[in-house]
Chains A and B, each alone.
Chain A
Amino acid sequence: MIPPAVPHHETPLPVAGRWPLFGAFALVFLIFAQVSSVLVSPPDRDMGHLQKIMYVHVPAAWTTFLAFFVVLVFSLLVLWKGRETHDLIAASAAEVGAMFNALTLALGMIWGRPTWGVWWTWDARLTSTLVLFLIFVGYLSLRAFIEEPERRARWSAAVGVLGAINVPIVYMSVKWWRTLHQLQSSPSTVDPAYVYGLRVNAFAFLFVLIYLVRRRYEAARLARAAEQLNDVAALGGR
């Protein structure tokens, strides 16, 4: 039995606090990460300078996975505790995750064209990443269509859990179905010359993710609180 959604007045409204400062730090760190990694890393023996696309494509993919992991955790909390705050965090992470997912796909296409000779192929990794993206577009569309907050929270939590289950499939797809996409890039699988660039950009993308999810959540909470105040006012303060 799923508990009813608790009005989210129970937790205080989020305030901007030092988040704008954190956003500025994330921006400066991202610039530093990209400039330093591009300057430091030598051209790859096979791919030449194209290897530098790895510093944006791979961190964007990791950030997507992390954002959808946040969706999974908070969607499960919604189904367990029924709190609207958790629903709004999940929704914020889903939106930011979908943006990083789209970026991952587009960067993969830009990298694929000169290395594979095609913009797109129905490879297991590419297809499963596209399916992941479509699931979260569906998640966001569902939220836009359901007006009743309690029902919206539960339905989207269910879709969020189902969507996030796809993440391990995307990650393992290159091992389970050996097609065109290379095996997972990580500091343990790439040449030591590229580890710095991969790590520093992964942290830069992580900071951007944290900032965007927090600010998107802040906007969602304020919008929902305004909606609730308007409802109370419409009912004559009851």
Chain B
Amino acid sequence: MASSINFVIAAYALTWVCLVAYATYVHRTLRRARDEYQRASRQPAGEAR
């Protein structure tokens, strides 16, 4: 009984770790892309990095 509950806890914990980690990665990627786009938009022609 206690052992089966441990497996249930592990399954739900893994689900949350996986979803939160991936959502964090997506948000960081989005923030980086937005910053990069804003930098590129301000850049005058002929001055690419």
Contact B14 A103 (CB under 8 A): yes
Q: How far is the CA of A5 from the CA of B47 in the complex (A)?
A: 27
Known A48-B4, A49-B8; contact A229-B41, beta-carbon cutoff 8 A: yes
Contact A229 B37 (CB under 8 A): yes
* Nearest A residue to B20, CB-CB: A27
Q: Check if A165 is an interface residue, CB within 8 A of chain B.
A: no
Please count how many residues in chain A sit with their CB below 8 Å of the partner chain's CB atoms: 43
List B contacts of A226 (CB < 8 A). 33, 36-37, 39-40
User: Which of A102, A106, A230, A237 has the most CB atoms of chain B within a 10 A radius of its CB?
Assistant: A230
Contact A110 B36 (CB under 8 A): no
Contact B48 A233 (CB under 8 A): yes
Closest 9 pairs between A and B when the two form their complex, measured CB to CB: A237-B45, A234-B48, A229-B40, A222-B33, A219-B30, A233-B48, A236-B46, A223-B33, A226-B40
Contact A107 B14 (CB under 8 A): yes
By secondary structure, the B interface counts as: helix
Pick from B11, B22, B49: contact of A111, CB below 8 A.
B11
Q: How far is the CA of A50 from the CA of B18 in the complex (A)?
A: 20
List B contacts of A187 (CB < 8 A). none
Contact B10 A110 (CB under 8 A): yes
A interface residues, Cβ below 8 angstroms from B: 13, 23, 30, 34, 47-50, 52-53, 56-57, 60, 96, 99, 102-103, 106-107, 110-111, 113-114, 208, 212, 215-216, 218-220, 222-223, 225-227, 229-234, 236-237
Contact B11 A57 (CB under 8 A): yes
Contact A212 B26 (CB under 8 A): yes
* Nearest B residue to A31, CB-CB: B16
User: Which of A223, A225, A237 has the most CB atoms of chain B within a 10 A radius of its CB?
Assistant: A223
Nearest CB in chain B: distance from A37 CB, A = 11
List B contacts of A52 (CB < 8 A). 8, 11
List B contacts of A231 (CB < 8 A). 48
List B contacts of A233 (CB < 8 A). 40, 43-48
Q: How far is the CA of A216 from the CA of B15 in the complex (A)?
A: 19
15 contacting pairs across A/B (C-beta < 8 A): A49-B4, A99-B22, A103-B14, A110-B11, A114-B3, A212-B22, A212-B23, A219-B29, A219-B30, A222-B37, A223-B32, A230-B40, A230-B43, A233-B45, A233-B47
Contact A222 B34 (CB under 8 A): yes
Pick from B12, B40, B41, B44: contact of A34, CB below 8 A.
B12
Nearest CB in chain A: distance from B46 CB, A = 4
